[in-house]
Amino acid sequence: MKTASLLSGAEAPVVQFENVGMRYGLGPEVLSDVSFKIAPHSFQFLTGPSGAGKTTLLRLILLSVRPTRGLVSVFGEEVSGISSGALTALRRRMGVVFQDFRLLDHLTTYENVALPLRVQGRAETSYRAEVVELLRWVGLGERMHALPPLLSGGEKQRAAIARALIGRPDLLLADEPTGNVDPGLGRRLLRLFLELNKLGTSVIIATHDYGIMDTVSARRMVLGEGRLRIEE
């Protein structure tokens, strides 16, 4: 199996799906018999037409929904019946960039980016320098006071990415991260994700922007009619 060959040695997959099916309520199956593995330090696109189930797949990985059938393992842990403490620990190893950013409008850019560290109960002084450094790096050094409603689409995008990166995730999930920005910025953000991947983070980017995908040769997970096809 090709996916297995991506795994280096004994390293366990970051995410593993086995015959996963998912339906909402009594509706039709959004995902059927989805099986795949995400190797550590790997980079892949998740693509498919709108409504193909990309966001549902990401939500399954994020453990915000549970599969109707099949097995989902994240960081080697099978997630059915997982305790809420273990769930929190798994989520702290993931960074996520939502399509609609999901920045908290009542917090400044600085506070939004610092959020993953703050929720770990760390003192503000212990992460201040880190957050400021990252904000400067993503070009928001001058915008840390600003509340999200006052940020441009690109700035929100970068704030959301910074928030996903601040906790040094082992796995980064990005849902249409280039959907709200011009193609130039989209390509630059993509390079940012590639750079992160080189440093060891596994990256999954959900997109249907072929322009972006064609610039990188990476594994593509293509969803169509609820089924997954993997193009190496």
Which residues lie near other proteins (CB under 8 A)? 41, 62, 64, 84-85, 88, 91-92, 96, 102, 104-108, 110-111, 114-116, 118-121, 124-125, 128-130, 132-134, 136-141, 144-145, 154-155, 158, 163, 165, 167-170, 184-185, 188-189, 191-192, 194-196, 198-201
Least separation in angstroms between CB 100 and other proteins? 10
Least separation in angstroms between CB 113 and other proteins? 10
Least separation in angstroms between CB 130 and other proteins? 5
CA dist list (Å): 86 to 74, 89, 107, 173: 11, 5, 27, 19
Least separation in angstroms between CB 27 and other proteins? 22
* Residue 100: φ, ψ to 5°: -100, 25
* Pairing of β 171-175 and β 202-206: parallel
Least separation in angstroms between CB 49 and other proteins? 25
Least separation in angstroms between CB 139 and other proteins? 2
Nearer to other proteins, 144 or 228 (CB): 144
Nearer to other proteins, 9 or 184 (CB): 184
Nearer to other proteins, 39 or 144 (CB): 144
Nearer to other proteins, 23 or 92 (CB): 92
Contacts for 89 with CB less than 8 Å, ≥ 6 apart: none
What pairs with residue 96 in β-bridges?
Answer: 173
Nearer to other proteins, 62 or 71 (CB): 62
* Residue 164: φ, ψ to 5°: -70, -30
Length of the chain: 232
> CA end-to-end span of the chain, whole Å?
12
Question: In angstroms, rounded to a whole number, what is the distance separating the alpha carbons of residues 51 and 32?
Answer: 14
Q: For the chain, what is the radius of gyration of the CA atoms? A: 18
Nearer to other proteins, 102 or 208 (CB): 102
Taking alpha carbons only, the member of 186, 126, 198 closest to residue 157 is: 186
